[in-house]
Amino acid sequence: MGLLDRHLIVLIVLVALAGAAVALPRGIDGADAGSAALDELPLMVNGWTASASAPEDVLPHDPRARDSASWTYSQGNREIFVSIARYRPRRDSDWRPSINQIAPARGAASLKHDLLTMGLNGSPTQTTPLSVVSIRGPQRNLSIVYWYQVKEKTIAEELPLRLALLVNALRFRSPQVWLVRIATSADDQPQDFLRGFYPQLVKTLSR
């Protein structure tokens, strides 16, 4: 068998697996479980105190989310806005958030994507990448850190998320898929908040 034939067989197998994953019956993830997880999130984090809701023009609501909630965490004159939403564990694009749902991109003068890598698990040698969108808008400049949470796995970008969902589908698993967004003004940094909030968040969402 030639090298070309082997590559063709591998390609056919991958296409067949992808088709099988799409055809697999969808798992049912209960709405009660998602709502309960949102109710258990910490309202006090290292001196930060939460109040219900966050401004819609900072963290837009996505109607495709099955469950969602937002908070404003305050400490002195600083504010951090948090939004957490649960989506169906599917690979198709019907549910995946667009940039207009992740950040208020419409009308922005400029929009920049980047990655933030930081230690969030108490170990200086173990770092976690997170996505960042920086926005210059007509009324305010924002920095939005976001990631997808699938059980204990933190996923910064969409391509690794698609791969994780494909692997879960092939294993007949349908874990919760969450989008976590942390917004601050562009001249503020959320790292101190994240180091306290992230471990509690992952523990709650991975149950």
- In this predicted model, what pLDDT tens digit does every residue of 117-155 receive, in sequence order? 999 877 667 899 999 999 998 888 999 999 999 999 999
Residue type, 28: I
Secondary structure letter of residue 62 according to DSSP = -
Q: What per-residue confidence (pLDDT) applies to 36?
A: 85
Task: Indicate whether 2 belongs to any domain.
Answer: no
Q: Which of 83, 69, 76 is nearest to 47 (CA)?
A: 76
Task: Indicate whether 1 belongs to any domain.
Answer: no
Asked if residues 85 and 178 have their Cβ atoms less than 8 Å apart, the reply is yes
Q: What per-residue confidence (pLDDT) applies to 92?
A: 61
Q: What per-residue confidence (pLDDT) applies to 100?
A: 76
Q: Which two tokens stand for residue 70?
A: 């937002």
- Considering the entire predicted model, what is its pTM? 0.81
Q: What per-residue confidence (pLDDT) applies to 33?
A: 61
Per-residue pLDDT of the chain (207 residues; tens, 9 = 90+): 554 555 555 445 444 555 544 444 444 445 556 678 898 999 999 999 999 999 999 999 988 888 999 999 999 999 999 999 998 876 666 666 777 789 988 888 899 999 999 998 776 678 999 999 999 988 889 999 999 999 999 999 988 988 888 888 888 787 889 999 999 999 998 999 999 999 999 999 987
Task: Indicate whether 6 belongs to any domain.
Answer: no
**Cα Rg of the chain (Å, integer):** 19
Task: Indicate whether 3 belongs to any domain.
Answer: no
Secondary structure letter of residue 97 according to DSSP = P
Is 153 exposed, middle or buried, given 0-12, 13-18 or 19+ CB atoms closer than 10 A?
Answer: middle
Q: What per-residue confidence (pLDDT) applies to 89?
A: 74
Helix residue ranges per DSSP H, 24-81: 31-39
Task: Indicate whether 21 belongs to any domain.
Answer: no
Q: Which two tokens stand for residue 46?
A: 């290292």
Domains in the chain: how many in total? 1
CA distance 42 to 137: 30
Task: Indicate whether 45 belongs to any domain.
Answer: yes
Task: Indicate whether 65 belongs to any domain.
Answer: yes
Q: Which domain holds residue 143?
A: 29-205
Task: Indicate whether 194 belongs to any domain.
Answer: yes
Q: What per-residue confidence (pLDDT) applies to 198?
A: 96
Q: What per-residue confidence (pLDDT) applies to 86?
A: 92
CA distance 132 to 116: 6
